[in-house]
Structure 1
Amino acid sequence: MLYLASQSPRRRQLLEQIGIAFEAVNVDVPEVRSPDESPVHYVSRVARDKARAGMAGLPADAIVLSADTEVVLDDEVFGKPADAADATAMLKRLSGRTHETISVVWAVQGTRAESEVCVSRVRFASLSDDDIAAYVASGEPFGRAGAYAIQGRGATLIEHLEGSFTGVMGLPVYETARLLRRFGVRPG
């Protein structure tokens, strides 16, 4: 049986979209980057910690899938905005610039643990203060890494994407399917 260690409705939707049967388990893992930790290592560690936390209380043969996605600009990891001022500051920094979105997916079964990494490059259009204020007022930036949702209104902010649309959403479908196949789980 496959379990998804995530509270993200987007991750659940993407797994359902590709025909993967799963049960969701809620996990609560601290997301704090160490000062000397690279962005990729940080995202990978958080995703791995989620998978391991998801194993608690499950059968030994259970497969637990987890993911983490973060926005990175100038080696700074942009998590979820704390409030409107934080969302506004993030969007101002991203405006007219290209950033990376790093998604790491882990699958864990017993002592076996494997991962896939997906790095996408996203270029934002130059945004006016009014553009940013209207987007923040929509409420969409909250609960989203980097204060935007590519699958929603945030798509209007993006001038160019190089990489995985679903990776920027929070679960790179291609990499996830490739990882799950190695564990004997195939998309439907």
Structure 2
Amino acid sequence: MLSEKLKDYNIILASGSPRRHQFFKELDINFKVDVRPIEEVFPNHLKAEEITNYLAALKAEPFKASLQEKDILITSDTIVWHNNEQLGKPKDAADAIKMLTKLSDSWHQVATSVCFTSKNKQITESHITKVKFKALSLEEITYYVENYKPLDKAGAYGIQEWIGLIAIEEIIGSYPNVVGLPTHLVYKTLLTIANA
């Protein structure tokens, strides 16, 4: 249905994430992938979704000059926010273990922002999901990090993997958001653009 409304548009997904690619396929959206590197640096005073809003918009910058009339560029950013601290992608296995130890036996927030950029307009949407982890043993954390190598994931975990199955006691908000994309917001915003 949405793909029919968007048939006149070129959807460009600026993400290397296989999980985001899969979501777009499952939403039946025709898209092409184009990733252009940027330095993901943000002002220190930003918090939670303020960080992801800033970075999602920043990721659109390298494309702006080349966007055509019917292009819709989609950029996105996800972070884990815990005890007033941003947990991005871990530097190495030791950093991943440290992050998961912090998340153990506590609530955290997963913030994702999606930025929709066309030739003349930019819209940024964000969503926060609250997630509660059980108390994890060092053995469980080490097993996960060694076997699943979550170095490409914010907060050092993938909710769709082993650790999500054993650790998550409660979740408030969108599950796909924790995987890396608030799919309900993507659908709603693209529908709004297509119907404009």
Same fold (TM over 0.5): yes
- Number of matched pairs: 185
State yes or no: 1:80 paired with 2:89: yes
TM-score scaled to structure 2, two decimals?
A: 0.90
**Which residue in the other structure is 1:169 paired with?**
179
- 4+ runs of 1 displaced by more than 4 Å? none
Q: Is the 8 A contact 2:79 2:112 kept in 1?
A: yes
What is the DSSP-based 3-state SS (H/G/I as helix, E as strand, rest coil) of the residue aligned with 1:183? helix
**Which residue in the other structure is 1:54 paired with?**
63
CA–CA distance in 1 between the matches of 2:95 and 2:63?
30
What is the DSSP-based 3-state SS (H/G/I as helix, E as strand, rest coil) of the residue aligned with 2:108? strand
Deviation of 1:127 after TM superposition, in Å, equals 0.3
Letter in 2 for 1:180: L
CA–CA distance in 1 between the matches of 2:64 and 2:174?
28
> Residue 188 of structure 2 is aligned with which of 178, 181, 184?
178
What is the DSSP-based 3-state SS (H/G/I as helix, E as strand, rest coil) of the residue aligned with 1:106? strand
> Residue 36 of structure 2 is aligned with which of 27, 30, 38?
27
Letter in 2 for 1:62: D
CA–CA distance in 1 between the matches of 2:162 and 2:120?
41
**Which residue in the other structure is 1:117 paired with?**
126
Deviation of 1:50 after TM superposition, in Å, equals 1.4
What is the DSSP-based 3-state SS (H/G/I as helix, E as strand, rest coil) of the residue aligned with 2:177? helix
Letter in 1 for 2:34: V
- Percent pairwise identity: 32
CA RMSD of aligned residues (A): 1.4
TM-score scaled to structure 1, two decimals?
A: 0.93
> Residue 49 of structure 2 is aligned with which of 40, 49, 53?
40
What is the DSSP-based 3-state SS (H/G/I as helix, E as strand, rest coil) of the residue aligned with 2:19? helix
TM-superposition CA deviations, 1:52-80 (whole Å, max 9, x none): 32345342331101111100001211000
State yes or no: 1:159 paired with 2:169: yes
Letter in 2 for 1:92: T
Deviation of 1:105 after TM superposition, in Å, equals 0.7
Q: Is the 8 A contact 1:107 1:113 kept in 2?
A: yes
State yes or no: 1:149 paired with 2:158: yes
CA–CA distance in 2 between the matches of 1:56 and 1:152?
39
